[in-house]
Structure 1
Amino acid sequence: MESYKYLLDIALILISTKILGLLTRRIQLPQVVGALIAGLLLGPACFGVLQETDFIKNIAEIGVIVLMFAAGLETDVQELKKTGLASFIIALLGVIVPLIGGYFVATIYNPVTDQQTMLQNIFVGVVLTATSVSITVETLKELGKLSTKTGNAILGAALIDDVLGIIALTVISSFAGSDVSLWVILLKILGFFIFCGVVAFLFIKFVNPWINKYKKDLRRFVILAFAFCLLMSFAAEYFFGVSDITGAFVAGLILSNNKKTSYMLNRFDTVSYVLLSPVFFASVGLKVTFSNMSATVVVLTVLLLVVAILSKMIGCGLGAKICKYTNLQSVKIGIGMISRGEVALIVATKGMSMGLMKDEFFAPLVLVVVATTIVTPILLKLAYKYQASREADVPMASSLVDKVEERNDLEKITQNAANMHEEMKEIHK
């Protein structure tokens, strides 16, 4: 009987994550929050129905790799070049300030005594650097403010923020459990980026032209792309001591600019939506236990939440102000970058597996991710309500906004086509 229990575990995860995901969508929150709550309810934190087995861990690990690969595929390198200096400055300060803030809060509870404790504290800052703008995009669309100067700045900065966050993760993860010298580690990191550059050059020069011309069975590209993602993940860990999710993200970046990218991304999204994402986000909830949530840990959670909110508002807001945005626009940009999401959870989970995340920090950081997701749309709506009586937010065209809306339209078209196909079958019966 025990050998079949994993089937029941997966079924419970899928049902609970989807039901709670739909409920959270009803209150205009991402389904990720519902999946996290499902894991918390089913796991040791609440009812203890499920435990994190090796099977769930392995599925979740593949889920992380696919999520980061998809994030790389979604990152348009050409758009990255066009975002400009303003988006870069906003993103850079939006990474530096949370990194420093997270480090100092962690140091209060985990005094630095050696390299390991210092890395653990820095890693808390790395988790807080992540930004998930999906909830911000939905809120701005609801308010009709996505195609504005502020909306463009948030999208551009978020794009760069992801890349800067991955670079920070790459550097910190290279030090995990390492007794070799600093120079050897830095050379390995440099070697990794050179390796990625060479692979990218070969793909652009020789592989992309062939992919763009190929017109036959496109499903082959999905299989080959996934194999390439796994190989890059393996190479990153095995040869360079860099996190496997960094390799997956870079693999996605390399494949992000060919004519089959949308097709591949659509297929990976389907697999991720059906199985991998629910299992991963539920597994994050399964890792959380509240048995050691003492008054001290509760205070830590509150401090991390305050730092998570203020550090993005100050960092990104200051960056926007430097780039000549008005005070109100700077505040809105800062608020729009507050929400943490899947990337923060992925980084935190990776830190746990690498020994870079203290157990005491994990539950507070998961709660911070949920809280920032709830707080962001509320603050953003208040900021726009205040703005309505102060200054106009002029609409402006943007290829970044067009890309976001095109992605949503593609999903709707795909579902409508499937419905029409079923209707036609009924007519012909």
Structure 2
Amino acid sequence: MAYILSISIILLTALLTGKIFSKIILPPVVGQLVAGIIIGPAILNIVKPTHLISSLAELGVILLMFIAGLESDLKLLKRYFKPSIVVAIMGIIFPVVGIFYTSKLFALSNIESLFIGVIFAATSVSISVAVLKSMNALNTKSGVTILGAAVADDILSILLLSVVITFTNGGSAQGNPNIILLILMQIGFFIFVWILFILVNKFKIKLNRTLAPIVGLIVCLSLSALAEHVQISAITGAFFAGVLIGQTKYKESVNRQMNQFGNLLFIPIFFVNVGLNMNISGIVENASLFIVLSIAAIITKFSGAYLGSRFFKFNRLSAAEIGVGMISRGEVGLIIAEIGLKNNLISANYYSTIIASIILTTILAPLLLKPIVVKIKQI
């Protein structure tokens, strides 16, 4: 029953650090990340990452993205579809190329360098969403573009991952489906979601309001599971589920219940779990790689997203908000890195260093994002 004490410690430290960081005008989620570093193997080693904690954390990020979908303005998402796609594409090309050549400087193989580039091509918008949501900046022009670009980025990154694994024969031992079949399955997923949108808009669903949150949660988990089945991140399925439920008259009641349900347990565990995965020894052993890789990861993702948004006439401050909002690699980067390790596409010697760089980008993103949003609101 040791896991009960671990969860209790996680929730207590998340609460305390969140409050402390709020007092010093920093995002509470950063405090929760720091809590994970303090109580985890990196410093005090009171709580260690476990399969249970990781599972609860995964539910946390699914709920977070479901809530983001619920609170998203579909009209704005449609309006800024084109800039979102361009930001996503440029936000992938720059890191893949930049990280590839950065890795080559440290004498890594072509395959390993390419795969590390794929890892840092990913974007996890979960933490940026939490910051934008807390500042009522989610349904702004920049906020919607970040959301749309992150979803597109996630889809494109997973497709890129599938291609790399297939053509390097990394996935053969894991029983991955043929790349053509996989792409067809992924296309089928989006067609299915599109059909659901048509049905929801055509038929007015009537539910008991007390049952609506449960039905919403079932839809969220079902689409998340289906997305994972076709090797798209679960958070993409959760986001679309949120947007789907957001088209019904039950949006407000589901949103209220999910916020209470998620923030009570799962969402704080997700943020703390990111910090729990920090490994100081991995950084020390490859300090130079860690520093250069982290800088390259930040610059390449920011540059790609910034230039993509400037192409669509966003002003410099809004483009900077989008660039910074896309920096975080979070759980998506962690998942891809784990897949790479299992498929022998990255060596165990560099795994901890890569994880540390992912976590650093995840921590820095909200720290850099908040002052930009504040400045935009002051204009």
Q: TM-score range by the shorter chain?
A: 0.7 to 0.9
Deviations 1:206-256 (A, max 9, x none): 686332xx2x53231221222222222333333x34333333333334333
Contact 1:73 1:253 in 2 (8 A): yes
Contact 1:132 1:337 in 2 (8 A): no
Contact 2:119 2:336 in 1 (8 A): yes
- Change beyond 3 A, Cα 1:50–1:138: closer
- Change beyond 3 A, Cα 1:315–1:39: same
Letter in structure 2 aligned against 1:236: A
Contact 2:303 2:323 in 1 (8 A): no
1:108 Cα offset (Å): 3.8
Of 254, 257, 262, which residue of structure 1 is paired with 2:247?
257
The gaps in structure 2 that reach 5 residues or longer are none
Contact 2:65 2:235 in 1 (8 A): yes
For the pair shown, the structure with the greater C-alpha radius of gyration is 1
SS of residue matched to 2:280? coil
1:368 Cα offset (Å): 2.5
| Cα distance in 2 between the residues matched to 1:244 and 1:136 | 21
* 1:315 counterpart = 2:315: no
Counterpart position of 1:337: 322
Correspondence list, 1:177-188, <5 A? 178-179=171-172, 184-188=178-182
Letter in structure 2 aligned against 1:71: A
Letter in structure 2 aligned against 1:169: S
Letter in structure 2 aligned against 1:45: A
- Change beyond 3 A, Cα 1:130–1:191: same
Letter in structure 1 aligned against 2:295: V
1:365 Cα offset (Å): 1.9
Counterpart position of 2:187: 193
Counterpart position of 2:226: 235
Q: Please, what TM-score do these two structures have when normalized by structure 1?
A: 0.72
Correspondence list, 1:255-404, <5 A? 255-294=245-284, 296-297=286-287, 299-324=288-313, 329-330=315-316, 332-340=317-325, 344-355=329-340, 358-378=351-371
| Cα distance in 2 between the residues matched to 1:284 and 1:294 | 19
| Cα distance in 1 between the residues matched to 2:132 and 2:232 | 31
1:136 Cα offset (Å): 6.3
Contact 1:13 1:279 in 2 (8 A): yes
| Cα distance in 2 between the residues matched to 1:354 and 1:373 | 26
| Cα distance in 2 between the residues matched to 1:9 and 1:48 | 11
Of 43, 48, 52, which residue of structure 1 is paired with 2:45?
48
- Change beyond 3 A, Cα 1:103–1:220: farther
Counterpart position of 1:427: none
SS of residue matched to 1:315? helix
| Cα distance in 1 between the residues matched to 2:99 and 2:127 | 14
Counterpart position of 1:31: 28
| Cα distance in 1 between the residues matched to 2:81 and 2:226 | 32
1:291 Cα offset (Å): 1.5
Say what the alpha-carbon RMSD is for the aligned residues: 3.7
Counterpart position of 1:170: 158
How many aligned positions are there? Answer: 365
Deviations 1:45-98 (A, max 9, x none): 001111122321221222232223333333333221122655654554345434
Counterpart position of 1:80: 77
Correspondence list, 1:60-79, <5 A? 60-79=57-76
Contact 1:341 1:369 in 2 (8 A): no
- Change beyond 3 A, Cα 1:302–1:275: same
| Cα distance in 2 between the residues matched to 1:165 and 1:171 | 10
Letter in structure 1 aligned against 2:150: D
Letter in structure 2 aligned against 1:223: I
- Change beyond 3 A, Cα 1:267–1:101: farther
| Cα distance in 1 between the residues matched to 2:98 and 2:260 | 37
- Change beyond 3 A, Cα 1:161–1:207: closer
1:23 Cα offset (Å): 1.1
SS of residue matched to 1:25? helix
Deviations 1:236-283 (A, max 9, x none): 333x34333333333334333222223222221211111001111212
| Cα distance in 2 between the residues matched to 1:231 and 1:119 | 30
Counterpart position of 1:218: 209
Contact 2:329 2:362 in 1 (8 A): yes
Contact 1:69 1:252 in 2 (8 A): yes
Contact 1:76 1:257 in 2 (8 A): no
Of 150, 154, 174, which residue of structure 1 is paired with 2:142?
154
Letter in structure 1 aligned against 2:7: I
- Change beyond 3 A, Cα 1:258–1:7: same
Contact 1:132 1:340 in 2 (8 A): yes
SS of residue matched to 1:293? helix
Contact 1:95 1:315 in 2 (8 A): yes
Counterpart position of 2:54: 57
Sequence identity, in percent? 26
* 1:119 counterpart = 2:141: no
